[in-house]
Amino acid sequence: MTEHNTKSIEDLEFMTMWVHEIKTPIAASKLIIENSVNSPSEKVLYSIEDEINKIEDFVQMTLFYSRSDDFAKDYAIHSTNLNTIVNDCIIREYSSITNKNLSLNMDNLDLQIDTDEKWLEFIIKQILDNAIKYSSINSVIKIYVQQTEKESVLYIEDSGIGIKAEDIARVFDKSFTGNNGRNFYTSTGIGLYLSQKFAKKLGYNITVSSEYGQGTKVSIHFPKCSDYFKIQDEV
């Protein structure tokens, strides 16, 4: 009974957050349209597309959140090229990247991994979304893979505002936004929480390193000897 009550409270908190947050891109879209109705431009269209994408992301997050407790019933492992998944995420972020005039430096992504494309794409999309959100205009985001004997690691590295040292240990806590969340109204603290939760169910791990004012590096670790068909007891 206690577990049921805890889940109900968590669901209510999530939906309250979701309703509150989705109002922002809706209001922003209306304002952009009102201010540019007589002078539409390519930049305006990208701005509107960016806000619509945010709404779509919130809807997508809700769908994944609703499936998180039935993960074992909703995943299929296949050999997939990591470069394809990363590029799909970039396409979905194109308007946000364009609006901030960001450059992408991509390297060594031609890697075959055993994964569920849908869940991994969600994870990478959340991390890339944060990298874009906290990057300065005209800056660079690096996306690359390094390999060791034990694992392959996907790095998504930005040169944005970074994370304060006291916040690093809590970035995967549910609803934790830290100092950056107080300065960026679009921060919900749910994306990284869900990303780490799903990553562990797939047998991966996500780590974060950062220097405040210099940027952040998020790493997804893919163990080379992992048995992707053995899901942990908590799944």
Asked if 121 contacts 80 with a C-beta cutoff of 8 angstroms, the reply is no
Tell whether 111 is covered by a domain: yes
Tell whether 235 is covered by a domain: no
Tell whether 232 is covered by a domain: no
Domain count, the chain: 1
Tell whether 75 is covered by a domain: yes
b/e per residue, 123-143, with b = 16+ CB within 10 A?
Answer: bbbbbbbbbbbbbeeebebbb
Q: Note the pLDDT of residue 4.
A: 55
CATH number of residue 214's parent domain? 3.30.565.10
Tell whether 20 is covered by a domain: yes
For the beta carbon of residue 93, count every other beta carbon within 10 angstroms. 21
Tens digits of residue pLDDT in 190-223 = 788 889 988 998 999 999 999 999 999 999 999 9
Confidence of residue 233 (pLDDT cuts 50, 70, 90): very low
Rounded to an integer, the average pLDDT of 38-64 is: 74
Tell whether 117 is covered by a domain: yes
The domain containing residue 116 runs over which residues? 2-223
Tell whether 23 is covered by a domain: yes
Asked if 206 contacts 218 with a C-beta cutoff of 8 angstroms, the reply is yes
Rounded to an integer, the average pLDDT of 152-170 is: 93
Helices (H), 37-81: 42-67
Q: Note the pLDDT of residue 232.
A: 44
Tell whether 228 is covered by a domain: no
Tens digits of residue pLDDT in 65-84 = 766 666 656 678 889 999 99
Residue 229 to residue 208: CA distance in whole angstroms: 26
Q: Note the pLDDT of residue 113.
A: 92
- Max distance between CA atoms of the chain, in angstroms, equals 59
Tens digits of residue pLDDT in 9-43 = 666 666 666 666 777 777 777 777 777 767 667 77
Residue 196 to residue 191: CA distance in whole angstroms: 9
Rounded to an integer, the average pLDDT of 79-101 is: 92
Asked if 122 contacts 68 with a C-beta cutoff of 8 angstroms, the reply is no
